[in-house]
Chains A and B, each alone.
Chain A
Amino acid sequence: MGSPCELGLYAEDSEMARRVAKRIIDDALGIEARYSRYREDSILSMINRKAGRNGGIEVDEETAGLLDYAQTCYVQSDGLFDITSGILRKAWNFQSGKPPDAALIESLLPMIGWDRVVWMRPRLAFKTSGMELDFGGIGKEYAADRAATLYLEYGIRHGVVNFGGDIKIIGPHPDGSPWRIGIRHPRQSQHVMASIDLGQGAIASSGDYERCIEIDGRRYGHILNPRTGWPVQGFASVSVVASHCLIAGSACTIAMLKESAGTDWLEELWLPYIVADDKGRVIKRHC
């Protein structure tokens, strides 16, 4: 999944814990195999190869569910959450530290836009050739929620899933006490900015600190506006608590994409959230 993943659970015995963990790891690896953009044989790579052809491509139930979810995010974010924007990574290399080629960004913009996709379940077609989908921001969160479901199906009621900072709580510790989740300080990676006690539900975080480059003293985070092709300039970090990782994760990303309107958008969700602005001010709501 490209980031450290942790499972914490209380089980009857270590054999049971091993069985559950193995099942969850297999499931997560399965999701990665199906939706990784790095794997030529993934469903995602096949979509990206074939959806631009005449008539598009027919997808399976699970992929259709993910596309429906992505479309819902697109609609609810007024077009900012867009799974066609991943193609911008051709212009942005956050490892290199080099500034992007503005002309390349411009040339990619016509290939971005969910409105350039025809999605008529179960058939998907790109209206513009060269377009690509990317389930970053959905796949890992989906895997975390499924892991939690597997816990429950094995009868485990007390546990936590942490897939690269996307955290789903299965239930409190056996004595009823909640899990204490620390939220990383966006500027001081060893420090906790805030902590929150959760006995159920999920929390996800998004920030400009995960992958970023500084050019001429200006910080460019990895969350890119699909309309401009440039990183958003809003919050340093956003964390949202929701029933599921998937919802918490997309809420964070959308709040980042909304920039200064992010907190207004979060208020409309009625979910607890913690944001830090670029001056390091922390706003906690409904927590």
Chain B
Amino acid sequence: MAATNSTATSSKLTALTMAALALPGMVAKSHADSPPAMPQIDTNFSRYEESGNRMRIETYQAAASLAVGDNLGFRVNGVKDVVTGASPVTIGRPGPSCKGPSNGLLVQCMSGASIRDERDAVDIGANYYLKDVTLGVDVGRSSENDYTSDFFNVDTRWELNQKMTTLATGFGYASDSVWAIQHVNGQNVREPGVGGDKSTHQGLLGITQVLDKNSLIQANLTYANNAGFLADPYKWALVDNVYLRDSRPGSREQYGVLLRYVRNFEELNSAALHLDYRFYSDTWGVDSHTLEVSWFQPLAYGWQLRPRIRYYTQTSADFYQPIYQTARLDGNYSSDYRLAGFGAIAGGIQLNKEFFDRLRLAGGVDFYERQKGLGLSGGAGTKLDNFSYSMYSFSLNLKF
């Protein structure tokens, strides 16, 4: 069948379509509204590699879900990360105590390349499906040799207005402990007096509105409140020619807004455009903007291609400096590159194929380039922290 003229919209057809879609049962409930009918297994492997022989992370993830009756679904999820390589410790002056890339005046001091850390995380969740409401709860633990986190989340989704509108709420709590590990005589020893506990409360409020049969908009507001030890126990800052431990305020409030527009193009074999804009702001003075465009293109024989591109810009935290000439009254010092002002461009492509409606295989590659000069938001920072990474991922999803 030849495509109908896709650019022309018929007012008659629009009127009929709107009236038809307003009827109950004309639009399939999204898959989130009923438990997966069959047991399901998802596995994923990804390899993240930073430029300049820095950090490398291999992630193995597996999840299984199972429905019990028509209203209840359970899911268990496990993740293992293996981190190796060096990471930046601070920005310093050339000298024996600081080794790393230099511009003559400043040096990006790197940790030794012998870091190897493993993170294991497991969480279990349950969803309860009522007629228009889905209730979810999830609890889990994540542990490394220098970090533990216990967390739980509860969320609700409420569909109304004949499923044209979805309201979502979420609340989460995490209790974390962080410390530093030193290598002494070939042994891992906990460094005394470094680190601490932190707690995070977070909330989410979201609305998704179906605009017509081919488009929807979504807005999510998130808020998080962190309190406790929020610094990085491995990082340092050069303050008036003295290296001091990274130290940050004991609380941080984070605000986020996500605006998403999704449009399907039936005439292009049901391709879909996703436009995301995210704004983030916190009480440390970090503001960021993210713009992401992705395109889902179903091809013949169950193949699907998903290219995407993302731009990111952030301002630096109020107390961030690459190096400090003088001491600060509040005693907060961080030269952590993640708190600097910078910009980044990222892009990727994922290809997946479905076999017999049971098995889906996906492979993807992503590239990321962070540069001081790409930032539009201003703030302190240094080109020494420029880096790039690539990430390869492979996933398998099996329904029984």
Using CB atoms and an 8 Å cutoff, list the residues of chain A in contact with chain B. Answer: 10, 12, 27, 61-62, 65-66, 68-69, 71-73, 75-76, 142, 145-146, 149-150, 152-155, 157-158, 174-176, 196-198, 200, 241-244, 246-247, 250-251, 265, 268-272, 286-287
CB <8 Å contact, A69 and B19: yes
Using A66-B23, A146-B25, A153-B28 as known contacts, say yes or no to A76 and B2 having CB atoms under 8 A apart.
Answer: no
Is B29 in the interface zone, CB < 8 Å from A? yes
CB <8 Å contact, B12 and A76: yes
9 A-B pairs with least C-beta separation: A152-B28, A72-B19, A146-B25, A65-B23, A69-B19, A246-B20, A270-B10, A76-B12, A269-B13
Whole-angstrom CA separation of A243 from B19 in the bound complex: 13
> What is the chain A residue whose CB lies nearest that of B24?
A62
CB <8 Å contact, B26 and A145: yes
Pair count A-B, CB < 8 A? 103
Is B37 in the interface zone, CB < 8 Å from A? yes
B19 contact set on A, CB distance < 8 A: 65, 68-69, 71-72
B28 contact set on A, CB distance < 8 A: 149, 152-153
**What is the total number of residues of chain B having a CB less than 8 Å from a CB of chain A?**
36
CB <8 Å contact, A157 and B357: yes
CB <8 Å contact, B4 and A270: yes
CB <8 Å contact, A149 and B10: no
CB <8 Å contact, A268 and B12: yes
Q: How far is the CB of B93 from chain A (nearest CB, A)?
A: 62
Q: How far is the CB of B139 from chain A (nearest CB, A)?
A: 28
Whole-angstrom CA separation of A174 from B302 in the bound complex: 9
A244 contact set on B, CB distance < 8 A: 17, 20-21, 26
Whole-angstrom CA separation of A198 from B22 in the bound complex: 25
Sampled A-B contacts (13; CB under 8 Å): A10-B357, A65-B24, A65-B162, A69-B23, A146-B26, A149-B26, A154-B37, A158-B357, A244-B21, A247-B13, A247-B17, A270-B4, A270-B10
> What is the chain B residue whose CB lies nearest that of A31?
B25
Most B-side CB within 10 Å, residue of A27, A265, A272: A272
Chain B, range 343-359, C-beta contacts under 8 Å to A: 356-357
Q: How far is the CB of A11 from chain B (nearest CB, A)?
A: 10
Q: How far is the CB of B86 from chain A (nearest CB, A)?
A: 47
Given A65-B23, A150-B25, A153-B29, 12 more A-B residue pairs with CB atoms under 8 Å apart are A65-B22, A71-B19, A76-B12, A145-B20, A153-B28, A155-B38, A157-B357, A244-B17, A246-B20, A247-B20, A269-B13, A270-B4
| In-complex Cβ contact of B37 among A62, A73, A155, A174 (8 A) | A155
